[in-house]
């Protein structure tokens, strides 16, 4: 009897996985072949978000976890190969004040992703059909906080670790340079390969954000964040433009986001995101994405995701579709951690407000040498935050 119940429990636990993988669609060779350009662009976009203040720090770590080989198979000319689309990423940024109002910082973004027969982090399988690529972005950041001015620049390395012969030829080591200029709410970002531009991103982050000294409420927090990204199509394609509009809908907790592509004048994606707290450590999102498969309603991919500080669960969400080689039809889990800080306040990337913290309580409890406490509060705030939450639950 006990055995039966145990088997039943295992079955119930495995059910979502089975359902999740039964309708899983394969990732394509095309999506993997063009992965490098989108990896570089995504990193620059994240850097834009983190450099909105131009100082403070940021830490990010994460990897996708898929237990079944049938969740993201690869579709090649030979058939469907069992295996894993995977993505390992980490990022860090830290800046310090070198002179009054002058901050110097360094940032490093790293991502390794592709498709492989196994998704070991340390021991890749590298089979005949694998494609594994990595992109590293680094750069120096200078911020004049009195003028609210940031200048950053550095290099981007795109390296092919392993590529099977079913993929088109690719340069195994490409070097790009990038530069970022921000003045107040406006920023311009450029990516270059030798003397040729690859992309230009113009952002107007008009929304007033409390973390960067803005308002916590009021009409100024309802101003939109508009992004215009231009991409060089190279010799074969036309240059393209993607316009993204992010809009605070309710009290910096509910956001809408729409993006359109030009010159095709086509809808690309839309998202509705709800953050229970404006610090964006936890989020829920519903997304809709156009897949460009040209078959009417099947073009639209509806999905959603739950983002908890350490774990993200997504099904057909646009974030995963764009970053995991158009993987869809399966439940994708990501073990992750990501946190930004400025002046000792903590918040998620792109958040308008910091997490509520109970620094006052801590000051009261540790009575001895209150002067040196200032340095300690910064380190202890994260711990206090968790403990304070559990105390609140007891009451």
Interacting residues toward another protein by CB under 8 A: 63, 65-69, 73-74, 77-84, 86, 117-121, 125, 127-129, 335
Task: Dump the DSSP string for 32-66.
Answer: HHTHHHHHHHHHHHHHHHHTTSSSSEEEEEEEEE-
Nearer to another protein among residue 236 and residue 394 (C-beta): 394
- Residue 112 CA to residue 87 CA, distance in Å, equals 6
Nearer to another protein among residue 120 and residue 262 (C-beta): 120
**Counting Cβ atoms within 10 Å, is residue 34 exposed (0-12), middle (13-18) or buried (19+)?**
middle
Q: How far is the CB of 367 from another protein (least distance, A)?
A: 16
Q: What tokens does 224 get? A: 């939109």
Q: How far is the CB of 101 from another protein (least distance, A)?
A: 41
Nearer to another protein among residue 130 and residue 189 (C-beta): 130
Q: How far is the CB of 48 from another protein (least distance, A)?
A: 30
Give per-residue burial for 361-377: e unless 16+ CB within 10 Å, then b.
Answer: ebeeeeeeeeeebeeeb
Nearer to another protein among residue 67 and residue 184 (C-beta): 67
Report which of 134, 174, 161 is spatially closest to residue 35, judged by C-alpha positions: 134
Q: What is the DSSP letter of 372?
A: T
Q: How far is the CB of 318 from another protein (least distance, A)?
A: 24
How do strand 74-76 and strand 27-28 relate by DSSP bridges?
A: parallel
Q: How far is the CB of 80 from another protein (least distance, A)?
A: 5
Q: How far is the CB of 164 from another protein (least distance, A)?
A: 9
Nearer to another protein among residue 77 and residue 169 (C-beta): 77
Cα torsion 135, 128, 81, 29 to 10°: value is 50
Nearer to another protein among residue 71 and residue 189 (C-beta): 71
Are the beta carbons of 106 and 75 closer than 8 angstroms? no
Nearer to another protein among residue 79 and residue 263 (C-beta): 79
Q: What is the DSSP letter of 76?
A: E
Q: How far is the CB of 274 from another protein (least distance, A)?
A: 25
Q: What tokens does 380 get? A: 């202890």
- Residue 321 CA to residue 316 CA, distance in Å, equals 7
Are the beta carbons of 124 and 149 closer than 8 angstroms? no
């Amino acid at each position: 009897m006990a055995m039966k119940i145990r088997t039943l429990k295992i079955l119930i636990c495995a059910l979502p996985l089975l359902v999740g993988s039964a309708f899983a669609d394969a990732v394509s060779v095309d999506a993997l072949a063009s992965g490098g350009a989108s990896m570089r662009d995504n990193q620059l976009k994240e850097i834009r978000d983190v450099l909105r203040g131009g100082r403070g720090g940021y830490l990010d770590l994460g990897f996708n976890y898929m237990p079944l080989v049938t969740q993201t198979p690869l579709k090649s000319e030979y058939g469907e190969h069992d295996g894993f689309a995977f993505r390992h990423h980490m990022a860090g940024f830290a800046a310090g004040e070198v002179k009054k109002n002058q901050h110097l910082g360094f940032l490093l973004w790293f991502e390794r992703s592709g498709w492989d027969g196994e998704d070991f982090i340390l021991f890749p399988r590298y089979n005949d059909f694998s494609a594994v690529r990595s992109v590293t972005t680094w750069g120096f950041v200078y911020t004049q906080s009195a003028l609210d001015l940031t200048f950053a620049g550095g290099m981007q390395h795109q390296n092919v670790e392993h590529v099977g012969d079913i993929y088109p030829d690719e340069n195994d080591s490409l070097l790009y340079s990038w530069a970022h200029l921000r003045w107040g709410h406006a920023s311009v970002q450029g990516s270059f390969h030798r003397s040729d531009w690859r992309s230009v991103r113009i952002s107007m982050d008009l929304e007033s954000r409390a973390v960067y000294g803005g308002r916590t409420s009021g009409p100024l927090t309802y101003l939109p964040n508009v992004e215009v990204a231009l991409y060089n199509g190279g010799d074969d394609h036309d240059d393209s433009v993607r316009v993204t509009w992010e809009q605070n809908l309710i009290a910096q907790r509910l956001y809408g986001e729409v993006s359109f592509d030009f010159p095709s004048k086509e809808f690309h994606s839309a998202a509705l995101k709800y953050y229970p707290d404006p610090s964006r450590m936890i989020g829920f999102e519903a997304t809709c994405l156009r897949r460009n498969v040209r078959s009417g309603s099947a073009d639209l991919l509806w999905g959603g995701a739950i983002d908890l500080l350490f774990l993200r669960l997504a099904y057909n969400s646009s974030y995963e579709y764009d970053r995991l080689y158009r993987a869809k039809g399966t439940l994708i889990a990501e073990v992750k951690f990501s946190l930004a800080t400025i002046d000792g306040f903590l918040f998620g990337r792109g958040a308008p407000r910091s997490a509520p913290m109970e620094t006052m309580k801590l000051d009261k409890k540790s009575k001895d040498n209150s002067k040196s406490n200032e340095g300690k509060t910064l380190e202890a705030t994260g711990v206090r935050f968790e403990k304070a939450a559990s105390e609140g639950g007891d009451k």
